Structure 1
Amino acid sequence: MNNKKTMLFLSLLSVSFLASASTSNTTYKPNKVTNLIGWSLSVPVDNDGNGKADNIKEEELASGYSNPPYFYINTDGDLVFKSYVKGFKTSKNTTYTRSELREMLRKGKTSINTKGVDKNNWVLSSSPKAEQEKAGGVDGTLTATLSVNHVTETGKDYQIGRVIIGQIHANDDEPLRLYYRKLPMNDNASIYFAHEPRHGFGKEKYYSLIGSKSNTQSNPKNGIAINEKFSYSIVAKGNTIKVTISRPNMADVSKTIDISKSGYDKEGQYLYFKAGVYNQNKTGKPSEYAQATFYSIKATHNK
């Protein structure tokens, strides 16, 4: 099947990708993960020459965007994200590279702003009623099934082997960052998350789910190996956030935190999910990278 026919076929399915020129003889299967019209994508390259990481909007992403090795759909129809230690960043305030999806409730309706309490973003059910009416959703659940395929092994000790695989982002802060971290001397990785209150509402705190965030921890008990498939869910409801890690034939591991004093239930505060690979190492060798394969991603809201 030539590329023109392939693109037509995949376009009819609304979610598809072709290989890059270097793998032009391979036809990738339609994306089975998610309808990407509800997401935008950041990749750590600068093809448009603006000095920042490229941002791929919803319609371009859903209609066939592919940029191996940073983002593509493999032959099984799964999303692959890859981010080297060195690369273009999303803004002056960001020092780490990423290949990461950003939730876009507007689904390609560019007349709706990306920022603000509007139909592109969501709020908590603890927020004022007027804010809930303006928002595109109320409360939120992000679920994903993935495997982390590679992490960094060089650099400063507190950065080695760590990568963010899911987030809740707000106006300026990050209510939730979910980390996978595997140290070079260990077979398995730990899972932990951070909660960052709004500026002036308290200090950032870390919570362990499997193992810890320690730079010297021994092989975590029941840790998650490279290429091992697992699932996570992030549930924000009212003034709580619950994170759960699930694996076949193992008990779920969950942690619920109270965010009632973190300031995200105030007027003007909006939220959105992120998922992919946010490489948390900026000091390793330039050839080092983080990579993950996502088999499913789904975001839902009460509105």
Structure 2
Amino acid sequence: MKMIKKQHNLVLGLILLSIGLLNSCKDQVKTNTNKVNTVIKDTIKVKYANSVIPFFDNWKLILGDGSNAGIANNFENKDFFYTTNDGKTDWVVFKTPNGGDTHGTSNNTRTELAQIKKWYPKTANDKLTATLKVMNVSATGDARVAATHSVVVGQIHSADAFENEPLKIFYKKYPGHDKGSVFWHYEINTAGDDNSKRWDYSSAVWGNDFSVVGSDANTYPEQPKEGIALGEEFTYTIEVKNGIMNLTFTSPGHETKTFTKNIIQSEYTTVADIPEQTKQLFFPKGQDGVERPEAYTGEGCFFKLGAYNQTNGKSPDVNKNWCSGAQTHNGDIAKQYADGNYAEVWFKTASISVSDAAVSNEGYFTKND
């Protein structure tokens, strides 16, 4: 009996030891699994745009599908807005197709920030600076159309009346060219009630202005001298103070360019004042208006920043300045991205200074969303 009891105790001890070892293994597996899961979570942790450029409290984000994403803190959308790293630096990516749902009354898609406050040029003391590189413009379009193969990377927009634009900063590059052009536009704040007569005046920064186009749909002009390549960094600074807009453009290896424009007192109040460039581009389309003497005085204005694609699928027969006839795959975003029919802009740094006199711009979003 004693021998049997000893054997029983030995077996029981072995069983308890096995259970202990098994539980220990389970605990170790659980611990190791938790460590692996933690590593995976840390590895795939999203770096949001506001950790790269911490200024998103000042903006609402419009996406390339026409929707308003609101204030874009801790937000990404892999189709339109996200961060990336080029091996050295983190960048915020703004991407938008040639065709799809658009915002407001525009024919063009955009992934773009719009300032949540507006300021009045006469009393303004407001500033926007950005460093960026354009990574893609549309692969297709009619070479005769001035806006083809271009993207707007910064704006001043009016929130009131006709909602015209005293500033648009463009990058444009034709297929097959190594370098593109940077230029900026002033759009008149049209006198009278017929805003269809509005027009732009284009000033070259590096390369050509808006008016240099192809001789036919598939023949491009000569490549611009002193142009900017895709992937080449440049910086713009926009400052509006006491009614005067001051622009500065810098880029390594390029001449710094500065411009000044009064936006509360027009220089285009008669037809005789209108530049020849504008007469050639816009008068044939019936866009032959004059500007009200006070220009943008009394209208709330605000900054915009991002990728506002200027290439669309509308027929050039409608307007050879703005309608590109480009490939849109009937709005299929994946197909457009696959064959280069989109605009993509990367921003490295940006800053905004907003004056105390600025007020809410919510009325603009209410009208346009």
- Which letter does structure 1 place at the counterpart of 2:230? I
Q: Which whole-Å CA distance do the structure 2 matches of 1:270 and 1:224 have between them?
A: 33
Which structure carries more helix by proportion? 2
Q: Which residue of 1 aligns with 2:213?
A: 215
Aligned partner of 2:164: which letter? D
Give the aligned partner of residue 135 of structure 2.
149
Write out aligned runs for 1:1-303 (5 A). Answer: 26-30=44-48, 31-45=51-65, 53-58=66-71, 61-62=72-73, 64-75=74-85, 76-91=89-104, 93-104=105-116, 120-124=117-121, 126=122, 132=123, 138-157=124-143, 158=145, 159-170=147-158, 171=160, 172-200=163-191, 203-212=199-208, 213=210, 214-216=212-214, 217-259=221-263, 260-261=265-266, 263-267=294-298, 269-283=299-313, 284-286=326-328, 287=336, 288-303=341-356
> Is the Cα contact below 8 Å between 1:147 and 1:293 reproduced in 2?
yes
User: Which string of whole-angstrom CA distances, capped at 9 and with x for unpartnered residues, describes residues 53-94 of structure 1?
Assistant: 110112xx11x1111121112245421010101111112x21
User: Matched residue pairs, number?
Assistant: 247
Structure 1 position 244, deviation (Å): 1.9
| Conserved? CA contact 1:34–1:296, under 8 Å | no
Alpha-carbon deviations, 1:107-162, whole Å to 9, x = none? xxxxxxxxxxxxx21112x2xxxxx5xxxxx2322110000001112122223311
- How far the C-alpha of 1:277 sits from its partner, in A, is 0.2
Q: Deviations over 1:157-191 (max 9, x none)?
A: 22331100000000211010010001113111111
CA contact (8 A) 1:33 1:77 kept: no
Q: 1:140 to 1:3 in 2, by over 3 A?
A: farther
Bigger radius of gyration:
2
Distance 1:257 1:101 in 2: 23
Secondary structure, in 3 states, of the residue corresponding to 1:78?
strand
| Whole-angstrom CA distance in 1 between matches of 2:137 and 2:38 | 36
- TM-score normalised by L of structure 1: 0.75
Deviation at residue 298 of structure 1 after TM alignment: 1.2
Distance 1:203 1:82, change over 3 A: closer
Length-normalised TM-score, structure 2: 0.62
Aligned partner of 1:181: which letter?
K
Q: Give the superposed CA RMSD.
A: 2.3
Counterparts in 2 of 1:244 and 1:218: CA distance versus 1, 3 Å: farther
Q: Is the 8 A contact 1:84 1:279 kept in 2?
A: yes
Residue ranges of structure 1 left out of the alignment (5+ in a row): 7-24, 46-52, 105-119, 127-131, 133-137
Q: Output the CA distance in 2 between the equivalents of 1:26 and 1:88.
A: 31
Which residue identity does 1:68 align to in structure 2? Answer: K
Overall identity of the aligned pairs, in %: 26
82-91 vs 240-249, greater mean Cα deviation: 240-249
